[in-house]
Amino acid sequence: MNDFRAESEELRAKELDAVKRVLHSGWYILGGELSQFEEKWAGVCGTNYAIGVGNGMDAIEIGLRSLGIGPGDEVITTPMTAFATVLAILRAGATPVLADINPKTALLDIASVARCISRRTKAILLVHLYGQLRDMRAWKNFCENHRVLLLEDCAQAHLAKSEEGFAGSVGVFGAYSFYPTKNLGAMGDAGALVTNNKALAEQAKKIRNYGQSERYHHPEIGMNSRMDEIQAALLDVRLGWLEEFTNSRKKIAKSYYQKIKNHKIQLLDTPEDSDSHVYHLFVVLCECREILASHLFSLGIHSFSHYPIPIHLQSSCLGIKIDPMGLSNAESHAERCLSIPCHPQMSSQDIKAVIDAINIF
């Protein structure tokens, strides 16, 4: 599903230089490497601010806390996401409410979200699942009409762009993860919050650093969640490859859409346009998903499910608030989804092998 060892020698050499530079600087936390990466990442996302934090989950929690969203407040999101999305809402002290997905995209369904709105709803946290940005204008209007905040979990959507702008620049904040397997990944944990809101950015900078305003002054009850200098320096290097890597993912997806032909396999809807999907994952749907996975494995092809258990069926979340009409689309998707290899180190033979293996299934 990923092959970092196959990355170019040129990239590896630049990464080693970056690490050496940090070691020689003698400055490891909250220094020049982080400020430089933050400035670049804000530029890439088209936002005024980027705040480097410990990981993607913390980015969401810090964003919520910076907005004062906490106990008594509801945040609507999707059951078809990484557990971290919902865990961040819980960690902020707020109440997650799960709406159903659109079966054609696996993204939040607007009608289901509308059923979940209550007097306590403060925000809708969209997850740009698999790298898809969709209906951003509709979501913006929906949130304005209901007087709730639009928030974005961009952990899978680096460089995804809609007519409203890049992922993370449309909502009040966007939360990015740079977990190693993400489209832009560090060599450890890292994340960032992007926003155009100055007050939110200032609050987030305090919260990530013990709630500290200036040394030894703690006006907030904060956290310890800072992106370290080595990760920032590595991300700065890897950012130079992101566009090329993203284009490779798009090319692979294009081949899959053109050449996968098997009546037992369904594909999700194609994106609105070529900018709006960055294929963090390429997902197929199959009624006999486990048999398909074993078939692929027998041919040396790995696959995973994203995600086999929707959040509301996790044993720790059984009492969670959901759409009164249920989450049947998410449950059905969870049973059928399979992510097949789609990463920048795949050769054309690798891509053909996956297509052939699926077509003979």
Binding site residues, ligand PLP, CB under 6 A: 55-57, 81-82, 84-85, 127, 153, 155-156, 177, 179, 189, 191
Q: Which is nearer to ligand PLP, 82 or 148 (CB)?
A: 82
Cβ-based neighbours of 11, under 8 Å, separated by 6 or more: 237, 238, 241
CB neighbour list of residue 214: distance below 8 Å, 6 or more residues apart: none
Count Cβ atoms within 10 A of the Cβ of residue 172 and give its class: 0-12 exposed, 13-18 middle, 19 or more buried. middle
Least CB distance to ligand PLP at residue 186 (A): 9
* Residue whose C-alpha is closest to residue 162's, from 212, 213, 189, 128: 128
DSSP assignment of 30-92 equals SSHHHHHHHHHHHHHHT-SEEEEES-HHHHHHHHHHHTT--TT-EEEE-SSS-HHHHHHHHHT
Q: Which is nearer to ligand PLP, 174 or 341 (CB)?
A: 174
Rounded to a whole number of angstroms, the minimum distance from the CB of residue 81 to ligand PLP is 5
Nearer Cβ to ligand PLP (40/91): 91
The residue number whose beta carbon is nearest to ligand PLP equals 56
What is the closest distance, in whole angstroms, from the C-beta atom of residue 82 to ligand PLP in the complex?
4
Instruction: Work out how close the CB of 227 gets to ligand PLP at its nearest, in angstroms, rounded to a whole number.
Output: 11
Answer for the pair 110, 135: CB distance below 8 angstroms, yes or no.
Answer: yes
* Shortest Å distance, C-beta 17 to ligand PLP: 25
What is the C-alpha to C-alpha distance for residues 209 and 202, in angstroms, rounded to an integer? 11
Measured from the CB atom, the residue of 191 and 271 that comes closer to ligand PLP is 191
Nearer to ligand PLP, 62 or 340 (CB): 62
